[in-house]
Structure 1
Amino acid sequence: MTAADVSLGRALVEEATKKSGLIWVRGSGPARALWHVWHEGAALLVGDGPGEQPLSAGLDAGGTAEVTVRSKDKGGRLVAWTAAVAVLEPHSQEWEAAVAELRGKRLNAPDAERMTERWARECRVLRLTPGASRTELPETSLAAAPLPTGATTRHPAPAALPRLLLKRRGKKR
């Protein structure tokens, strides 16, 4: 691999990750779709606290994670890369810089005024720094069953619903 290939690979990782709203991150557990902010050559994440996104298991300081970036337009995989995981210490200089970026992108926070104090107390802020090489994308879909959650309410459709929908469609004509 030439130096030009490495530079192009880094540029692809950076641009794709910057533009994507979600990245799929896998530590030692299943991959999770996580919102992030790209800042100073790394993806920044906040989570594992009340009201915040659950982070993938195994994202510990000094560990690695597999990151897959999707296309914002089509939703398909663009690039996959291996990241070095760093857990930022609350109120350190790195943590303050990361939180300043994350705070601006956090939508619908219930406590926007006290959000950073809550993050310092109850959450983890991670920095995922790309390694020197990219991971080859697999040929298969890697589709997996959704993770269990109490938020799913799957019930059969009422028997009369198709009749009601067809009746409305007929009246509009």
Structure 2
Amino acid sequence: MNTSEQAAAATVRATVERVIAAGVKPGSMAGASDEQIEDWAARQGVTVIPAAVREVMRMIGIKRLGWFRGSAFGVKVIEDSDKRRAIALLSRLENTMTDSAGMLVLAEHQGYQYYVIDGADLGLPDPPVWFIDEDEIAEKISPSVTDWFDSIAPDVEQDRARLRLDRTLGSWISPGWAEYIDIDDLE
């Protein structure tokens, strides 16, 4: 691994460590093996996996409670069919990607929104992330995977504050998204 790849991987790990330090329950995240990651990419017809993407999958590629709420994500969830649907959406939009056929789909939301890496950028250690939406949007939304990953990290303190407010208002039912944080001290 070269210096750029090491830096990208370290930045991903730092984001995960920050989230854990904020109060994530042990066991709420599980990473994928390199073999699982390579199989996931291969199902999408991709052979080159950027270091930052690989590290994200190593950290939360199997279990990611708190991340990607309501969206599909992970090596066991994102399939070649997601890529086909993203490409089909792009065919209706003004597509400024260089190699959309070679893209790598990172996450999917209800079949009409996708977070992807342009196939032309897969050789970069920390490539830009694109957002594709059926409402005629296909744009680069983040300069790097590490910036994107940090921006979508669960805000544990905000979630705990919301749960405290719910308890103050008399609700003792925890929403499903709260599974990843310890709520015992909220009572």
Query: Which protein has the bigger strand share?
Result: 1
TM exceeding 0.5: no
TM tier, smaller: under 0.3
Q: Please tell me whether Structure 1 or Structure 2 has the larger radius of gyration of its CA atoms.
A: 1
User: What is the TM-score of this pair, normalised by structure 2?
Assistant: 0.26
Query: Which protein has the bigger helix share?
Result: 2
User: What is the TM-score of this pair, normalised by structure 1?
Assistant: 0.27
